[in-house]
Amino acid sequence: MSRRPKVHIKPYDWKASDGAATPGIGIHHHGVTIAHYTIAEAITLADRLVDLAEQMEKEES
């Protein structure tokens, strides 16, 4: 049986090459940042995840 891939999320400031920081949420896998979302983008993503989970739950019942 293979292990499902998982990520870790935490507050993370994205630093551009010019040094400007964008606060938001970092998504990390094995210590590597694989995605960064601004606060607004993170809220939109969370809403979409909930919508999809609720849709799947409804389809299962």
Residue 61's pLDDT band, with cuts at 50, 70 and 90, is: confident
Q: Is 11 a residue whose pLDDT tops 90?
A: yes
Dump pLDDT digits (tens) for 20-39. Answer: 999 999 999 999 999 999 99
Say if residue 10 is exposed, middle or buried (CB neighbours under 10 Å; 0-12, 13-18, 19+).
Answer: exposed
- What are the extents of the domains in the chain? 8-60
Q: Please report the pLDDT score of residue 37 as a whole number.
A: 98
Query: What is the Cα–Cα distance from 36 to 23, expressed in whole angstroms?
Result: 9
